[in-house]
A and B are shown apart, each in its own frame.
Chain A
Amino acid sequence: MIKLDNVGRVFQVGDQDVPALDSVNLTVGRGEYVSIMGPSGSGKSTLLNIIGLLDRPSSGRYFLEDRDITALTDEEEAETRRNRIGFVFQFFHLVPRMTAAQNVELPMVLGGVPPKTRAERVAAALDAMGLSDRADHRPGQLSGGQRQRVAIARATVMQPAVLLADEPTGNLDRASGAEVVHVIERLVDSGITLVLVTHDPELGERARRRIRMVDGRVVEDSSGNPAGRP
């Protein structure tokens, strides 16, 4: 499903090269539930961005569903993100001027899905999140937990293979956080591959496979693979 082969990422700050990832090797199978933990600046978000095709590795190769991603054009990359990957962010990133339904519809609008199909799928996705009665509310009228569930509905409406979540509960109170975790884990049960970045140990420990990162390297992988080897 996801295969990182010696992936490195170097950022340029001024005229200094700052390594964020240092030859990371990682393989994630279909339907796996993986958490990535580590201190701030350990490179876990950079890793997630590379997996999500928002960032490109400086070195190494990345295969998603056996396709070499590093060779894709911008257009193909965008298409892959749209159809194969769903994002859930700490700060939800809902468009404030759009209703919940319009936010969920957005990836399908970008993908040119016919309006009739869109309406059906938006209704189904909101229903699955228990938000049918909030379809016409704008983000400003929703609670944090509701906003994150709208964002999850948007991330899953294209039925992606991989769901990437960056601190999905980081901006929520305990009750809403638990609710969101419950929703996400239900998606894992239905077969989606989930990669979750968090520094909340309680959330991280829930994952079946736990990865620890320090200084851009994978230092611990609960699947039993020794660090740095696939």
Chain B
Amino acid sequence: MMRITDIFRFVRNAAGGYRVRTTLMLLAMAIGVASVVILTSLGEGARVYVNNEFASLGTNLLIVLPGRNETTGGPPMMVTGTSRDITTGDAMALLRHSSVRRVAPLTVGVAPVSWGGRTRECTIGGSTPDMLTIRRWKMAQGGFTAPDDPERAAPVAVIGAKIRRELFGSHSAVGEWLKIGDRRFRVTGILASEGRSMGFDVEELVLVPVASAQALFNTPSLFRVLVEAKSREAIERARADVVSTFKLRHQGEEDVTVITQDAVLATFDKILRALTLTVGGIAGISLGVAGILIMNVMLVAVSQRTSEIGLLKALGASRRRILGLFLTEAAMLSCVGGLLGLMLGYAGNRVVIWLYPAFPVTAPWWAVAAALGIALSAGLLFGAMPAWRAAKLDPVLALARR
């Protein structure tokens, strides 16, 4: 009977008639929705961040570590003493398998690097040119001219952008000789700065041939071996091949640990998704609290407007009409509050992005939809009881109150 536009006009008028009450209700709803949006965005951002980190490791990647940690339960380093070292020969033997496309041995150590009187402690990585391909590292300048045979040392090095800046300043680095420890290496290239990549800051890395690094640190063993499988499907086969090769070469001892990127990624993904859901749920509680506040405020509204409700009945509003008007009011307030909260949430996200530009903050669509849905249904749910109370009011008693 009543026109829709009139219903909205009436409700807007009623909500506007009680500024403080309306503001409080909008605020509660907005804060609830905004906290859902911001917290799930942070959780989702963490997930995307970790995903990106793993993706930058390269795809179809297997990492071979010396020692087995599955059976001991202790940290891997405790067991390395009892297991055999991985050698460059072990690593290169893996290339025989059809499931394996590339292999990059890796030795890591820290040594002073100096040029022209300046010295700096640097992380030194020893590997082969395949390392660049596997880890998707790019050269900003020059190239990594290590010998084809990984067993042969060569005095060549590529350096990260930050090391170049700090040691050479404005001077050109490529072609210069620098000292690592007590050995001399010629700089043949500069690594492009691609940000951090799983603990390795490419900007602060010096990369030399693996045999040179082993000579530098006086060790025949490898820190780990990176293996790139032929394809995603070949990952499991490659893992089996790696294990069997090491078993063969280490007298039947299965003394290496193989981590596939997929498994690690899936675990992180699961953990972080659960985290997002958890913080989203906690924020959802604040929406519930907002709903209860709405109920309280609507109940006050009903008693504040008792004589008005009586009047509306006298003027010919049925119970259903009164119920509808109050429900519309609750729904409209929670919608507007929800939209305000959405704006607040996105504004909060922008602040986070501004503070931490590298952190990928995005509001997941399902969280936005859920927040708005919960806001609206909380409004209706908690608005229903007061509305019903209003509809049931006895007009005679309602009008008797001034």
- CB of B318 within 8 A of CB of A75, answer yes
Given A52-B314, A77-B318, residue A109 in contact with residue B399 (CB < 8 A)? no
- B12 CB to nearest chain A CB (Å): 11
> Which residue from chain A places its CB closest to the CB of B391 in the assembled complex?
A74
- CB of B6 within 8 A of CB of A109, answer yes
Determine if A95 is an interface residue (Cβ-Cβ < 8 Å). Answer: yes
Given A49-B396, A54-B396, A110-B1, residue A81 in contact with residue B402 (CB < 8 A)? no
- CB of B396 within 8 A of CB of A82, answer no
- CB of B318 within 8 A of CB of A78, answer yes
- CB of A93 within 8 A of CB of B311, answer yes
A91 CA to B311 CA in the complex, in Å?
11
Interface of A is mostly: helix
- CB of B16 within 8 A of CB of A97, answer yes
> Which residue from chain A places its CB closest to the CB of B319 in the assembled complex?
A74
> Which residue from chain A places its CB closest to the CB of B311 in the assembled complex?
A93
- CB of B396 within 8 A of CB of A81, answer no
Which residues of B lie under 8 Å from residue A111 when comparing CB positions?
A: 1-2, 316
- B245 CB to nearest chain A CB (Å): 84
> Which residue from chain A places its CB closest to the CB of B7 in the assembled complex?
A109
- CB of B320 within 8 A of CB of A75, answer yes
Given A78-B317, A87-B314, A95-B308, residue A109 in contact with residue B396 (CB < 8 A)? no
Which residues of A lie under 8 Å from residue B312 when comparing CB positions?
A: 106, 110
> Which residue from chain A places its CB closest to the CB of B3 in the assembled complex?
A112
- CB of B311 within 8 A of CB of A81, answer no
Bitwise interface map of B from 55 to 96 toward A, beta carbon under 8 Å scored 1, else 0: 000000000000000000000000000000000000000000
Pick the residue among B6, B316, B399 that contacts A81 (CB under 8 A): B316
A154 CA to B315 CA in the complex, in Å?
9
- CB of B311 within 8 A of CB of A110, answer no
Determine if B321 is an interface residue (Cβ-Cβ < 8 Å). Answer: yes
- A29 CB to nearest chain B CB (Å): 24
- CB of A110 within 8 A of CB of B2, answer yes
85-106 of chain A: CB within 8 A of chain B: 87, 89, 91, 93, 95-98, 102, 106
A83 CA to B13 CA in the complex, in Å?
24
- CB of A112 within 8 A of CB of B1, answer yes
Pick the residue among A54, A91, A98, A102 that contacts B402 (CB under 8 A): A91
- B214 CB to nearest chain A CB (Å): 85
- CB of A107 within 8 A of CB of B315, answer yes
- B300 CB to nearest chain A CB (Å): 16
What are 13 A-B contacts defined by CB distance under 8 Å?
A54-B314, A54-B395, A54-B396, A55-B396, A79-B318, A81-B316, A97-B17, A98-B13, A109-B2, A110-B317, A111-B2, A111-B316, A112-B6
- CB of A110 within 8 A of CB of B315, answer yes
Bitwise interface map of B from 276 to 319 toward A, beta carbon under 8 Å scored 1, else 0: 00000000000000000000000000000001101111111111
1-19 of chain B: CB within 8 A of chain A: 1-3, 6, 10, 13-14, 16-17
Bitwise interface map of A from 103 to 128 toward B, beta carbon under 8 Å scored 1, else 0: 00011011110000000000000000
Interface size on B, residues (CB 8 A): 27
A89 CA to B10 CA in the complex, in Å?
22
Pick the residue among A54, A91, A97 that contacts B313 (CB under 8 A): A54
> Which residue from chain B places its CB closest to the CB of A105 in the assembled complex?
B6
Which residues of B lie under 8 Å from residue A83 when comparing CB positions?
A: 316
> Which residue from chain B places its CB closest to the CB of A171 in the assembled complex?
B402
Interface of B is mostly: helix
Shortest beta-carbon contacts, A-B, top 9:
A82-B316, A78-B318, A97-B17, A107-B315, A81-B316, A112-B1, A54-B395, A93-B311, A109-B6
Which residues of A lie under 8 Å from residue B10 when comparing CB positions?
A: 109
> Which residue from chain B places its CB closest to the CB of A83 in the assembled complex?
B316
Pick the residue among B6, B311, B318, B402 that contacts A74 (CB under 8 A): B318
A175 CA to B45 CA in the complex, in Å?
74
- CB of B1 within 8 A of CB of A54, answer no
A96 CA to B311 CA in the complex, in Å?
12
50-67 of chain A: CB within 8 A of chain B: 52, 54-55
- CB of B2 within 8 A of CB of A93, answer no
Which residues of B lie under 8 Å from residue A54 when comparing CB positions?
A: 313-314, 395-396, 399
- B332 CB to nearest chain A CB (Å): 16
A80 CA to B316 CA in the complex, in Å?
7
- CB of A110 within 8 A of CB of B396, answer no
- CB of B2 within 8 A of CB of A112, answer yes
A80 CA to B318 CA in the complex, in Å?
10
12-46 of chain A: CB within 8 A of chain B: none
Which residues of B lie under 8 Å from residue A102 when comparing CB positions?
A: 13
Bitwise interface map of A from 185 to 223 toward B, beta carbon under 8 Å scored 1, else 0: 000000000000000000000000000000000000000
- CB of B315 within 8 A of CB of A106, answer yes
Most buried by A among B313, B316, B321, B395: B316
- B69 CB to nearest chain A CB (Å): 72
- A40 CB to nearest chain B CB (Å): 13
A64 CA to B321 CA in the complex, in Å?
23
- CB of B13 within 8 A of CB of A81, answer no
Which residues of A lie under 8 Å from residue B318 when comparing CB positions?
A: 74-75, 77-79
A52 CA to B396 CA in the complex, in Å?
10
A79 CA to B16 CA in the complex, in Å?
28
Which residues of A lie under 8 Å from residue B311 when comparing CB positions?
A: 93, 95
A107 CA to B312 CA in the complex, in Å?
8
Given A49-B396, A112-B1, residue A82 in contact with residue B320 (CB < 8 A)? no
